[in-house]
Structure formats: structure tokens, C-alpha cells
A and B are shown apart, each in its own frame.
Chain A
Amino acid sequence: MNMPRRDDLIVPHRSALLAALLLAFPLAVMAQSAPPASGTSSTDMSSMPGMEHGSMSGMPTPAAPSSTAKPATKTPVKKAKKKPVPAPATSAPSPMNGAEGMDHSAMPGMDHDSMQGMQKPANPAASTTTTGDMSGMDHGSMTGMSPEAMKGMDHAGMAGMDHGAMSQKDQSGMAGMGAMSGMTMGPMQGGSPPPDARSPDYSDGVGYGSMQGMDMADNTPLGMLLIDQLEAFHGRDANGQAWEAEGWYGNDTNKLWIRTEGERSRGKLDDGGLEAFWNHSIATYWGTQLGARQDFGEGPKRTWAAFGVQGLAPYWFELEATAYVGAGGRTAARLRAEYELLFTQRLILQPEAEINLYGKDDPLRRIGSGVSDVQFGLRLRYEIHRQFAPYIGVSWVRRVGTTADYARQDHEPVLDRQIVAGVRFWF
């Protein structure tokens, strides 16, 4: 929450920015799911069978026809999750470099042309089973099947980093999505029920008996508390301690969700926040968050109504996007993205990015409107046990715009780099 100034890596258009960011969210989704840079043109998408147009809903100029799901908002079950397949290096996003994070080169090998016109992309390799044919087929089907990528908030977390570049891509990516007709296959994930979808009810009106004793665990509420960061930091100007934690309690569909983070230095609490949400699962990897946030620390305590989405985007990015509305017309937004890169089964690098935005100046809390700060952290942990891991890392915090001006006035750093060491644990 403290950041430098050197070059304005994002030029905030003040209040417009908030809106832009929220817009960029679905856009980013599209961008990420747009065709790869690897030589396929954007029109390739047109041939993808189960392409999910739903995610385009928020788009200003959606060239997309149909309707499908509405993936643009969802929330995942945030677990102490480990990302399996490491995304390509390029997609381990560096928040300072949003455009790169979006780089579609991460998805070469996609070639949707091949799917073009396939009515029944089922049985490939017409005659021979040579490896070449088969493999070709497989990937064909794969790409064809992966349109689900379209649905998520894919990589939206990076949206905030570079909207400009993004919307550009988005637009182009969108362009090709028009011609979806002719495909009979649905998407492998997401999608809407086909017209001939059947009922799951085979009861003929027969109900359950009155027998007691069934004791299934399919609705049992459970809980979890993850202390993701409990650390000491050593910055250029200050040393201190920081925490970041979240917990939940509930069943598969509805959970009480708590998030908290903050830091203290020189023996006093600089900044802190506590959020409580009703988390509702709305899609495979996404859920909505509806609740409140309380800020504490230096300055007046602020209370906000909060709503957002949280989920797991393709390529295993954990994303959170939350908008806040407070008293006196205050608004704010926070976007977070997190990834886990496994070097071994126990040595895990966790990059993390966060951006905070405010709708108007709050001089008492030394926050300016627009983007207030951008944070990026890299933490390398060793899981002695799945549930307990010490880590070391480095974290950059850069204040932006008016917030940076406040910092300068206060003789505080605009950019701070911190060395951190701590533990992560959950139960």
C-alpha cells in the first residue's frame, strides 16, 4: 500500500478509471481467451464449437451473437490451492507488465481453423491411425473443446494493469467470434443447456419415504482458515509486520467468507482491513461476494459495502475483484491476482498482484482518487507440510497519482521494495 513514483505506469483518469477498470474486466476475459498469438488469426475463434459468448456480455461492442452462460462473474472456491500445470512462463504475469501477462503466446498450438465446418468433430483420423493424424486430431478436438476459456473471467486480474493494450486485443479477439454456427458440439465446460437437454428427474412423482437414519455428508458445513501471509518485512524506510488471511464456513453453495489484511510498523497499526462476505457459488470456478469492509489503522475508520467476484481463471489464476461503496459517495475497487508456480511438489513460488482504486480523494487517510497503489509480491515457500510453509519473498508497493503526491508531502516513499519472511499455514 505504499508505492513509488518514477514513471506513471498507469495514468489514472480519476473517476473514469474505476468504470474503465470494471469494464476492462470482461474485456480482459475476452482478450485472454482470444486466439493465440502463435500465428492463428483472430477469426479462428469462429470455428470453436462450444464457444461461450456469455462472457461477452459486459462488452461494449460485442460482435458475439448468441447467449450462453454468463461467466463474467463467478467465484471459485478459494482453497489453499496448488496450481498443477504450470502455466507457461509468459503467463505467470508480472503485474508491472500487464501487457505481457496477457500475451497470448501462452497459447500457441491453438488452431481453430481446423475445426471449421466440422459438424461432428468426433471421429478424426479418417482412415489411418498414424500418429500424425491422431495427434493432430486430438489437439484439434482439444482446442475445439476448450472454449470454456472464454467463459471465465480469465485473467481478468491483469486487466487493471494495462487496459489500453487489453481492450485493443479484446476488440480484435471479439471480431472473430461471430461465425459460430454449424457446430453441434457444446463446450466442454460451461455453456448453456442444449434445446434437447433432459430433466434429471426420474421420480415419476415418487418421493422419499419416512425412513430416518440417512446421514450423508453432502450438505455438511465445513470451515477453513488460511493464513496466507504472516510476515515481517524490511522496507527501504520502515520495518514491520504484515498479515493476510481468509477464512470460510459453509457448504458448497453458500459460505460466510472473511478476508483480512494489514500491516504495522514502528509499533503501531498503519493500515488494516477486515471484510466479511456472503459467498455464493455461481459457476464452476466462481462465486459472488456480497458483504462489507471495515478499514482501520491510521486516519478515520471507513466502512464500505462490498460486492465482487472471486474465482479461478483459466491457467490457474486466482482472481478477486471487489467494488466498494462507502458513506459520502466514496467508492473504491480492488483487484487481486495470484498464481502458484511449482518448482517441486513442495517448493512453490507465489506471485501476487494487487491494485487499489478510489473514487475520490480521502486526504485524511492519505488516499487520492484514481489508482492509489499497485502492489506486486513474489513469495517462495517450502511446504514442510501441506498445511505449513515458511517463505521468503520480495514485495513492491508503488503509490500512484494523488496518493503518491500525499506520500511525497509526508516524506514517505512512493515506491517501496520490501524483503519479506513469514509463514503460511491453514487448517
Chain B
Amino acid sequence: MKSLYPPPMDLSRRRFVHGLALGGTVAALGLLRPSKAWALASAGQPATLSGTDFALDIAETMVNYTGRPRVATTVNGGIPGPTLRWKEGTTVTLRVTNRLRVPTSIHWHGIILPFREDGVPGISFPGIAPGETFTYRFPVRQSGTYWYHSHSRFQEQTGLYGSLVIDPAGPERNPSDRDYVVMLNDWSDASPEHIFATLKRQSDYYNFAQPTAPEFFRDVRDRGLRQALAERKMWNQMRMNPTDLSDVSGYTYTYLMNGTAPAGNWTGLFKPGEKVRLRFINGSAMTIFDVRIPGLKMTVISADGQDVAPVPVDEFRISVAETYDVLVEPQEDRAFTIFAQSIDRTGYARGTLAPRIGMEATVPAMDPRMPVSMVDMMGAMAQGSAGHGDMQGMSGMTGMQGMTGMQDMTGMDMSGMAAAAAPVVRHARTEYHNPGVDMHVDMPRTNLDDPGTGLRDNGRRVLTYADLHTLGGSIDKREPSREIELHLTGNMERYMWSFDGVKFSDATPVHFRSGERLRVVLVNDTMMNHPIHLHGMWSELESPDGKFQVRKHTINVQPAQRITYGVSADNLGRWAYHCHMLYHMEAGMFREVVVS
């Protein structure tokens, strides 16, 4: 209640969004010295710990990102916590001590390990009680970029996260001259419990881009009454909001790059001509970022720690909990801005690649906020497609006024849609007569080559899942013996989130039979993105025609999209399976998976 009535938008708001130049943890000043282990570190470089034995202390630390001191939960006093550098083939031991007054935990995100080491309270272990030290020990059987975070309540929102970098046992496939972790986070001065309660009380609380009457009248003037009404009709009838891109926005968030607010300008150094590897990790609670480095082509070489066939891009969208490694080769002796704008364009994280410390490049303006389109609501129904022949019955089509309102469609790339035959969608019984479900998509789209709202047709080469091909193919070539279909459901108005309309506390576990290869089918019956994370086993995303595409630990399912992925149930035990939007997860978009 203290910050119930902060001042309205004004100068302090500016400071709020851009943060303080010297923000971050007090201890951060101590981290400025170069870390010898790897990479020539520069200002704000997170501490790096390497080896096989690690002692991690979880404690409260004072931080100040906006001019108001706040208490954060940190690992070894830093936001983010130290980068842990492991080596494939070793066994690591991590002694985690809880110096908080509440239980805590650390989950090693994306690491394939025995389930007791997975760090999910109530599933893999009882959590780490205050004052206790818990020792994790497990073999490292993979390499790449991952991260760790608390799996207790909302601690992840308050700073309890850090990066994992695992060097391969053999030679590095993509050697580089410099190697930086670029961790993206959303910081709020408000407590996450308060944010969650606020969303339950008024789910559009953080959305300050809502449609207004003047916009309506402007549309009437520009396009006519009929069209203006038509464009709003479905939204109004469904009581949903096309500007609802992110539940929590820059209104309360300050977006961080390596624990540094935009004004602090985290900087990674390079010498012109060097090959620089950037390990992007989205450690946010709720924010999807669109990342680019104006002036530099990025070559994506790894997704969720798994090497992929290199893809040169100008920009990529990184959903919550995903990681992407990119290579850049700046030739000029100048600075480049690393620009990560939030999906709802209410703020950005920003840093700089520069030959010398203190240099800056232009920070681009944020792109316009694009409302959710028909495709995002209705999937294939709205996806005009050249490949489908079902139009015969639609002779009445010409009668459809209001069609002119579909400008959203014009930017769509239709090319990839032709191949996919309309999949059969099977809704769960529990998705009906259910206050927790606000829509069903009967004809989801299945294409992977759509970068999503706000990135379509923006003139830049934007990464999509269709571009990602894991090198070496699937780890399990068997044809899946069965399918498990789950629908991502919610009610934005009530702020309820679930699978199949059933939230965690009302659900039964999902059983994977030990040794089986199965196909998980996810259909997004909501208008929001949901990054779905399966613990303990890989999710091998398939193309719309069922071919192996890319191996991931977190798969972002776009609105009204249907995706499928293979899972090999080869890791016995109990696992968490959930949407990685923190507040969606806590609201119940969560299942326990049992492999037995």
C-alpha cells in the first residue's frame, strides 16, 4: 500500500522506465573487475564462477533501479546471480544456502538431470528451508547456454536468477573471440505478490494502450462508421482487448540487461573484426522481448542450448525462459546498441557493444505497438490461404461487409500456410461451461514461420521457429506411439490460467509411460503467447507436417496456434510442466508430469 499513489507520468516516470545509471545491487560495484575465467569483462559483467563445486547463498539484498530502494532476492548478492560455467562430462556439486526467512529453491532450467535435483518444491524436493543448505549434485551431460532461477512462489521476479554456460566436452562448434551472456529481465519495485493480486482485481491494470473513443471516431472519419464498428465488433462481443499483449508492462517494469537498467548501459567490449558470441537469456517473469542490434547481422547458432544450423537474422523474438546464442562480427570501430524492446512496446532493455568503454550508439525508437490481429485470435480461420480448397461453400462471402477492416492481414506471409492441412482439434470437456475459459480456437494455425504480433512484415529479417533446425536431428527417431493433447486456456478478465480449463490444484498429473516416445499437442486457446516448459526431458518441436524441427526446453506457443513436439519419456520421476509466464504459472497453468 505504500506506493499506492505514486506520482503520475512525469519526470520521475522517465527515470522509472530508464532506470538509474548506477542502479542494480550495491554489490554490483564489486563486480566491475574483469572476470578472469572467460571473456574480457566490462562494466556490469556478472560474476562468473567455474569449476565443479559451487557455493551459492540466497539472501535479501538492497537494490535501487528507479530511485527507490527495494529489497531483492539474490544469489551471492548479485542481479543476476553469478554465471556458473560448467563443463560437459563433469559432475557438479552446488551447495545452496537459504538466508531468507521463507523457503527457497533453485531450478536448473533446461538441464537434463535426476528429478530430485530439479529444484521444484513439492515435486522434486520439499524446498530449502530458511537457514538450510541443500546440496545438488548431478552429472552434466549437455553443453550450451541455460539458466537457473527460483521455483518458489514469485522469487524469480525479485532477482533470483542467473545464467549457466556449459562448455562442450569436445571442441566448440562455433568458436568466438569474445563470449558474453546477455540476460534480459523485468524488474518491478512492486512486490510480485502485489502484482499478482492486482491482476486478479483488474487484469488490464498495466495496459495503458487501450482503445479509446477518440480512436474510434478517428477511424469513423478515416474509414467510415461501418468499418470502424466492424473492426471492433468481435473484440467487443468477446469482451477481449486487442491491445492485450503483455499482462504486466513498463508501467511497473524496468527492463534489465545483465542486471543493468537502460540508463546504466551495460557494455560488452570488442575489437573490430572479432567474432563475438552473445548468449541471450530471457530470464523475465512476464516479458517477451524483440531483440536486434541495428547495424549488425546476427547469426543464430543455438536455441535453448542446442546448436542449430546457423541462421542470419536482423531480429529475433525471445520468449520467457528461452535462450538464443548469436554470433556477431562488428567490423567498424564504433558502438552498436543491443536493443530489446518488450512485446507491448512499453519499454526496453538496452546495452552496447563497443570497442571502448563509455561509447554509445543511437538507441532506436521503439516500434509501434501492434494490436493482436485476427490471426492471433482465430488461427487458420483468419489465415487466408492459397493452399486450401474449402472455399466452395462460401459463395456468400461477397456479402461480407466489414471485411475491409482486415488490414492486419496484409502483412502476413502466406507462403508457409499452404502445406498444413487443417489439423483435428479436440477440445477437452472441461473447456466448456467453465468460468476459467474465455475462448476456443477450432481451427488453429500450425505454421511456424510467423514471427508473431508486431514483427510481421517489419522490413527486417526476423527469426521464426521455422528457421531453426537442430544439428544432428532428433535424439529419438522413433515414431511417437501416442499423443497427449493439451489446450492452453485462460480467462483474461478473471485472470485465470490453466491447461484444458483445469488449473493445477484441480488437476491430476500427466502420466508419461517410461520409455515411450510420445507426441505432445498444444493448442493455444487464448490470445496470448505461452512459453511452455517441460522439466527433465527435451521438447522436440515438429514442423506442421510432423518432421523434426528443433530441440528446446521451452516452446513458445503463439495465440491460436497448434504446435506438436516429441518427448522421450526416458527420465523417471516427477516433473513440473508449465507456462513460464510467472503469473500464468502461479495462477494454475501448471501440471505435474510423472514418468513411471
What is A's interface to B at a CB cutoff of 8 Å?
38-39, 47, 69, 76-77, 79-82, 84-89, 106-111, 113-129, 131-146, 148-149, 185-194, 196-209, 211-219, 222, 224, 252-253, 281-287, 312-316, 341-346, 384-388, 426-427
Contacts and interface: CB of A to CB of B under 8 A. Distances in A.
A361 B341 CA distance: 64
B211 A85 contact: yes
Interface of B: 1, 4-6, 8, 103, 121-127, 152-154, 196-197, 200-205, 207-216, 225-230, 232-239, 241-244, 374, 377-378, 380-391, 393-410, 414, 422, 426-443, 484-486, 491, 493-494, 496, 499-505, 507-511, 513, 574, 586-588, 590, 592, 594, 596
A298 to B, nearest CB: 35
A94 to B, nearest CB: 15
A216 to B, nearest CB: 6
A120 B197 CA distance: 42
B185 to A, nearest CB: 21
B226 A188 contact: no
B201 A79 contact: yes
B201 A222 contact: yes
A108 B403 contact: no
Given A138-B403, A142-B378, A211 B574 contact: yes
Nearest to A216: B504
B183 to A, nearest CB: 25
Nearest to A142: B234
A139 B427 contact: no
A282 B381 contact: no
A188 B378 contact: yes
A426 to B, nearest CB: 7
A119 B441 CA distance: 16
Given A208-B509, A216-B505, A117 B214 contact: no
A426 B383 CA distance: 42
A138 B394 CA distance: 12
A113 B399 contact: yes
5 contacts: A85-B211, A106-B229, A140-B403, A142-B402, A203-B594
Interface class of chain A by DSSP: loop
Given A122-B443, A125-B386, A222-B201, A202 B510 contact: yes
B239 A316 contact: yes
A188 to B, nearest CB: 5
Contacts of B196: 217
Interface core residue of B239, B427, B496, B587 (most chain A CB under 10 Å): B239
B254 to A, nearest CB: 18
B410 to A, nearest CB: 6
A88 B404 CA distance: 18
Contacts of A134: 384, 403, 406, 409-410
Interface core residue of B8, B212, B236, B396 (most chain A CB under 10 Å): B236
A143 B400 contact: yes
Given A148-B237, A203-B509, A212 B122 contact: yes
Nearest to B210: A84
A344 to B, nearest CB: 6
A124 B381 CA distance: 8
B239 A196 contact: no
Contacts of B378: 138, 141-142, 145, 188
A106 B244 CA distance: 23
A141 B427 CA distance: 19
Given A139-B400, A193-B428, 4 more contacts: A81-B204, A135-B405, A144-B381, A211-B122
Nearest to A124: B384
Contact of B1 (A140, A214, A427): A427
A108 B225 contact: yes
Contacts of A384: 5, 8
B380 A123 contact: yes
A137 B412 CA distance: 14
A316 B123 CA distance: 41
A193 B5 CA distance: 45
A81 B240 CA distance: 12
Contact of B127 (A81, A87, A197, A213): A213
A116 B233 contact: no
Nearest to B494: A77
Contact of B241 (A76, A85, A139): A85
B381 A121 contact: yes
B202 A204 contact: no
A215 B236 contact: no
A342 B210 contact: yes
Contacts of B509: 203, 206-208
B210 A283 contact: no
A203 B502 CA distance: 14
A204 B126 CA distance: 25
Contact of B428 (A121, A125, A200): A200
A139 B394 contact: no
Interface core residue of A89, A108, A343 (most chain B CB under 10 Å): A108
A69 B237 contact: no
B427 A222 contact: no
A157 B403 CA distance: 30
Contacts of A286: 435
A342 B226 CA distance: 20
